[in-house]
Amino acid sequence: MKTVTVLGSTGSVGTQTLDLLAAQRDRFAVQALVGGRNVALLAQQARALGARLAVVADPTLHAALVEALAGSGIEVASGPSAVVDAASEAADWTMAAIGGAAGLPATLAAIKRGGAVALANKEALVCAGDVMLRAVADAGATLLPVDSEHNAIFQAMADGNRDAVESITLTASGGPFRRATLEEMARARPEAALRHPIWSMGAKISIDSATMMNKGLELIEAARLFGLASADIAVLVHPQSVIHGMVHYRDGSVLAQLGSPDMRVPIAHTLAWPQRLATTAKRLDLAALGRLEFEAPDPVRFPALRLAREALEAGGAAPCVLNAANEVAVAAFLDGRLGFLDIAAIVSDVVEAFGVGPADTLAAVLDLDARARAAAVRACAGRDRPAA
């Protein structure tokens, strides 16, 4: 039996992880499930999988979780420090799927404990790259990429010939506004931006996909995970999302990983690694698909991608500030307080205001993150509300 903990079990990645665990009850024992606020789902999951511990991040929901798990024998805890404690407890495999920089303390705690950490929480690696990679090396932890693109690169690099890698390509669906004009994007409402053509995901990453900031964060994530320079990471729009990533080798060979766009495939890969797990994911039928399309991303309509690349190249504080400003701007857009195109504009202004400083300790990262958020809140308040 492999012991597993799922951080962010009530989210999109979390629930898909639990689908896989539920189908293999004889192979996995669930230690802890951690959710943010959705007590009803968390309790249902904990009962269904016989978790030892259930943790809700919002401490005001402690009593509700106790009540929902009454008579189950499942231990209950709440609050941010209980989340970190759960991540620190022994487990063979941890899914780090809390959304945003809020997941950093728990993701870092899981890494420090050692063992295998399946990383969905890309924002933690973007804002605290140096800190996390040092912790991985110190604890001898194994980071297994969950993002389908990074998981694809990880698989295509599996022959171990890392010195022969020339570059990599991350594919992008192009999101819901791939064909939209700038005028249409300026008027876009959250409902339209949330309507992703391929993937069903949490709200924040869906908006990031619409602005292509998601690909920008993935660019930074890839540089950190695979030790590559910005110039060696290309982004290619591929609307069918069947090829998830490609590794280009020095001899001209290109190894790609393909699969139906279903997050259960990369999640299962990290769960079973270095073995494989059977899934019910739809099998790829290339004849039915007919053709695969590719195009370069449009830098004019999707400036977020350029902003992320510039932040990666600037290094230091820039990726952390970029991520914090983006989280604030996306939340404001989802609340109807900001226009769609204002998201990248806010990020640009805040990153420029902060310049480049160090972000090489956890304290420095948390301080930067808080200051960048405050600056982004002020910048959002200074913009006109989008017209009705």
Ligand X SMILES: NC(=O)c1ccc[n+]([C@@H]2O[C@H](COP(=O)([O-])OP(=O)(O)OC[C@H]3O[C@@H](n4cnc5c(N)ncnc54)[C@H](OP(=O)(O)O)[C@@H]3O)[C@@H](O)[C@H]2O)c1
Interacting residue ranges for ligand X, rule: CB under 6 A = 8-14, 34-38, 57, 83, 97-99, 102, 120-123, 146-147, 199, 201-202, 204-205, 263
- Residue 91 or 98: the one with the smaller Cβ distance to ligand X is 98
Which residue has tokens 């705690």? 109
Rounded least distance, CB 366 to ligand X, Å = 14
CA distance 312 to 230: 7
CB of 39 to ligand X, least distance (A): 8
Q: What is the DSSP string of 78-120?
A: ESHHHHHHHHHS--SEEEE---SGGGHHHHHHHHHH-SEEEE-
Nearer to ligand X, 16 or 349 (CB): 16
Q: Which two tokens stand for residue 46?
A: 């904990």
Dihedral sign of CA atoms 182, 184, 190, 194 in order: negative
C-alpha to C-alpha distance for 203 and 209, rounded to whole angstroms: 10
Contact 11, 96 (CB under 8 A): no
CB of 121 or CB of 169, closer to ligand X? 121
CA atoms within 13 A on the CB side of 161: 14
226 vs 349, which CB is nearer to ligand X? 226
Q: Return d(Cα 49, Cα 60) in angstroms, integer.
A: 25
Q: d(Cα 375, Cα 348) in Å, to the nearest integer?
A: 12
- The nearest distance, CB 218 to ligand X, in angstroms, is 9
> Token pair for residue 366?
């948390």
**CB of residue 6 to ligand X, shortest distance in Å:** 9
Residue with Cβ nearer ligand X (9 or 211): 9
Measured from the CB atom, the residue of 40 and 286 that comes closer to ligand X is 40
Kindly state the DSSP code that residue 295 receives in the 8-state scheme.
B
**Residue 233 CB, nearest approach to ligand X (Å):** 17
Task: Return the number of the residue (186 or 203) whose C-beta is nearest ligand X.
Answer: 203
CB of 12 to ligand X, least distance (A): 4
Residue with nearest beta carbon to ligand X:
11
Find how far residue 348's CA is from the centre of its chain.
Answer: 21
State the nearest-atom distance from the C-beta of 150 to ligand X, in Å: 9
Strand partners, 286: none
Q: Side chain identity at 366, as an amino acid letter?
A: L
Residue 261 CB, nearest approach to ligand X (Å): 9
Which residue, 56 or 247, is less far from ligand X as judged by CB? 56
29 forms bridges with which residues in the sheet?
Answer: 3
